[in-house]
Amino acid sequence: MTSMLHAPRSRTPVEVDSFRPSAARMYDYYLGGRNHLAADREAADALLDAVPEVVTAAQQNRAFLRRVVEYAVGQGVTQFLDLGSGYASPGGVPEVACAGDATSRVVAVDIDPGVTAQVGSTARATGVSGRVGAIHADLRDAIGVLEHPVTRRLIDFDRPVAILCLAVLHFVPGELDRVLGPLRRAAPRGSLLAFSHAAASEAPTTTERITRLVYDCTLTPLVLRSEETLTAAVSGLELVDPGIVPVNRWRAPDADAPASTLLGGVARL
| Piece in contact with ligand SAM (CB under 6 A), picked from 73-81, 83-91, 150-158, 259-267 | 83-91
β partners of residue 107:
81, 133
CB of residue 158 vs ligand SAM: minimum separation in angstroms? 26
Instruction: Compute the Cα dihedral for 63, 68, 74, 79 and give only its sign.
Output: negative
Per rule CB under 6 A, count of chain residues that contact ligand SAM: 23
Q: Which residues, numbered 183-242, are part of the site for ligand SAM (CB under 6 A)?
A: 220
Return the closest-CA partner of residue 165 out of 150, 149, 177, 155.
Answer: 177
Contact between 161 and ligand SAM per CB under 6 A: no
| H or E element at residue 157 | none
Q: Which residue, among 220, 112, 114, 218, has the nearest Cα to 171 in the 3D structure?
A: 220
State which of positions 40-69 bind ligand SAM (CB under 6 A): 61-62, 65
Minimum CB–partner distance for residue 108 and ligand SAM (Å): 9
Q: Quote the least distance from Cβ 86 to ligand SAM, whole Å.
A: 3
Minimum CB–partner distance for residue 96 and ligand SAM (Å): 11
**What part of residues 9-28 is at the interface with ligand SAM (CB under 6 A)?**
23-24, 27
268, HSE (Cβ side, Cα atoms, 13 Å) = 13
Q: Which is nearer to ligand SAM, 84 or 94 (CB)?
A: 84
> Which of 60, 79, 85, 260 forms a contact with ligand SAM (CB under 6 A)?
85
Helices and strands, counts by H and E, the chain: 10, 8
φ, ψ (nearest 5 deg) of residue 133: -125, 160
Interatomic CA distance for residues 84 and 79, integer angstroms: 16
Shortest distance, position 64 Cβ to ligand SAM, whole Å: 8
**CA separation, residue 203 to residues 28, 112, 199, 207, 226 (Å):** 29, 32, 12, 11, 11
Region binding ligand SAM by CB under 6 A among candidate stretches 39-47, 48-56, 111-119, 243-251: 111-119
* Start-to-end CA span in the chain (Å): 42
Residue 167 or 192 with smaller CB distance to ligand SAM: 167
84: contact with ligand SAM by CB under 6 A: yes
Q: Interacting stretch for ligand SAM, rule CB under 6 A, among 32-40, 136-144, 185-193, 223-231? A: 136-144
Burial letters 106-127, b for 16+ CB under 10 A, else e: bbbbbbbbbbbebbbebbeeee
Residues at the contact surface with ligand SAM, assessed by CB under 6 A: 23-24, 27, 61-62, 65, 84-86, 109-112, 115, 138-140, 166-168, 171-172, 220
